[in-house]
Amino acid sequence: MKNIDHHDEHDSPQYGTTERAAAMSRSTWTSVAVNVCLSTAQIATGIFGKSQGLVADGIHSLSDLIADFVVLLAGHHSKKDADEDHPYGHQRFETGASLALGLILLVVGLGMLWSAFLKLQSPETVPKVHTLALWVAGFALVSKELLFRYMLAVAHRVKSSLLVANAWHARSDAASSLVVALGIIGNLAGYPILDPIAASIVGFMVAKMGWEFGWEALNDLMDRAADDEEVQAIRRTLQETPGVIGVHDVNTRKMGDMIVVDAHIEVDAEITVEEGHDIAVEARKRVMQHHRVLNLMTHIDPWKRPDLDHAIETS
């Protein structure tokens, strides 16, 4: 029985393009501009208007700036071509950046929770908030929701999990601004304690999202497989390749937003090595054209007709 490992060079036509990097860069710089304006306005107004919740939300927006620069750095490095040290390319730089982003959010969230907890220990020291804080919180809410919708649309178009994470980070900002606005309204209505309560809720939201992003990225860095639906779709594409009789042992691992695949394909045992090689090349080409696959390693197994084996045994 002869087995052949095969991995001819073939570039995926749909993914890892300069257009993808440019779209990521544009959306992220838009987020940078929005967050610079918002964090400045929120922190300044929060201090002036004596709103801990608004200051916390401003710090949240400031953490977005760090996240945005993490995304820009990841986008720059992940588009580099494969080299001797990184034969599969640099796509996992995005995953590493997502892990860093998750840790940043977790630390920021815990810090906000601690600050709010200290305030809640002495509720009589919580001052009345200025009305201006409510207007700034409302403006931040609208701005972050619009930013979320824009960034998510770009993320889905270029198929970037890092941009999806950053977009949902913007949505968490919108939710936190809503909580802060409600806390300010409660404070103005005569319940001062609601402002630090709002700040603690924002801190919890940020910490929770940081944990989720970090955990997802950590699993991907540990060679987590693609979801079953995608694996089955790859299997079907292999099975439909002319000359492929059977497919088994399809294993996948995530490489950033791409997938690396190993698969065994069965071909007629009576054909030549060259013919088997050509079938493997075609199978790889089809998979990389129709799926977000970075590389496919095919292992060729010979297939014999069952009726022929039976005839040999009885002869």
pLDDT average, residue stretch 31-38: 84
Q: Are residues 185 and 92 in the same domain?
A: yes
pLDDT digits (tens, 9 = 90+) for 255-309: 777 788 999 999 998 889 899 899 999 999 999 888 888 888 889 888 876 655 5
In a domain, 302, yes or no: yes
Q: Are residues 229 and 107 in the same domain?
A: no
Domain with residue 122: its CATH number is 1.20.1510.10
Instruction: Enter the tokens of residue 246.
Output: 């059977």
Q: Are residues 243 and 102 in the same domain?
A: no
In a domain, 53, yes or no: yes
In a domain, 279, yes or no: yes
Instruction: Enter the tokens of residue 9.
Output: 């060079």
pLDDT average, residue stretch 61-65: 73
Q: Look at 28 and 135; give whichever has higher pLDDT.
A: 135
Domain with residue 257: its CATH number is 3.30.70.1350
27: exposed, middle or buried (Cβ count in 10 Å: 0-12, 13-18, 19+): buried
Q: How confident is the model at residue 238 (pLDDT cuts 50, 70, 90)?
A: very high
In a domain, 6, yes or no: no
In a domain, 185, yes or no: yes
Percent of the chain with pLDDT over 90: 10
Q: Are residues 217 and 241 in the same domain?
A: no
**AA identity, residue 226:** A
Report how far apart the first and last C-alpha atoms of the chain are (Å, whole number): 22
Q: In degrees, to the nearest 5, what angle opens at C-alpha 252 toward C-alphas 249 and 257? A: 160
Residue after which a domain boundary falls, among 163, 194, 221? 221
pLDDT for the residue 12: 40
Q: Are residues 56 and 181 in the same domain?
A: yes
- Are 279 and 296 in contact by the 8 Å Cβ rule? The answer is no
Q: Are residues 80 and 152 in the same domain?
A: yes
Q: Are residues 179 and 233 in the same domain?
A: no
pLDDT average, residue stretch 16-27: 69
Total domain count, the chain: 2
How many residues belong to the chain? 315
pLDDT for the residue 10: 41
Alpha carbon distance 23, 227 (integer Å): 26
Q: How confident is the model at residue 311 (pLDDT cuts 50, 70, 90)?
A: very low
Provide the b/e sequence for 207-226 (b: ≥16 CB within 10 Å): bebbeebbebbeebeeeeeb
Q: Are residues 213 and 231 in the same domain?
A: no
SS3 assignment, position 32? helix
Q: Are residues 230 and 89 in the same domain?
A: no
- The whole domain housing 160 covers 18-221
Instruction: Enter the tokens of residue 189.
Output: 């209505």
pLDDT digits (tens, 9 = 90+) for 214-233: 888 888 777 777 888 888 99
Q: How confident is the model at residue 2 (pLDDT cuts 50, 70, 90)?
A: very low
- Are 85 and 72 in contact by the 8 Å Cβ rule? The answer is no
Q: Are residues 133 and 260 in the same domain?
A: no
In a domain, 12, yes or no: no
In a domain, 156, yes or no: yes
Alpha carbon distance 117, 203 (integer Å): 10
Residue after which a domain boundary falls, among 185, 200, 221? 221
Q: Are residues 104 and 204 in the same domain?
A: yes
Residue after which a domain boundary falls, among 221, 245, 276? 221
Q: Are residues 215 and 244 in the same domain?
A: no
* Average pLDDT value over all residues in the chain: 78
- Are 28 and 72 in contact by the 8 Å Cβ rule? The answer is yes
Q: How confident is the model at residue 128 (pLDDT cuts 50, 70, 90)?
A: confident
pLDDT digits (tens, 9 = 90+) for 65-123: 766 676 666 666 656 666 666 666 566 677 777 788 788 888 878 887 887 787 787 77
In a domain, 8, yes or no: no
Q: What is the DSSP string of 104-160?
A: HHHHHHHHHHHHHHHHHH-GGGPPPPPHHHHHHHHHHHHHHHHHHHHHHHHHHHHT-
From the list 168, 104, 183, 94, the residue with the least C-alpha distance to 138 is 183
- Are 54 and 180 in contact by the 8 Å Cβ rule? The answer is yes
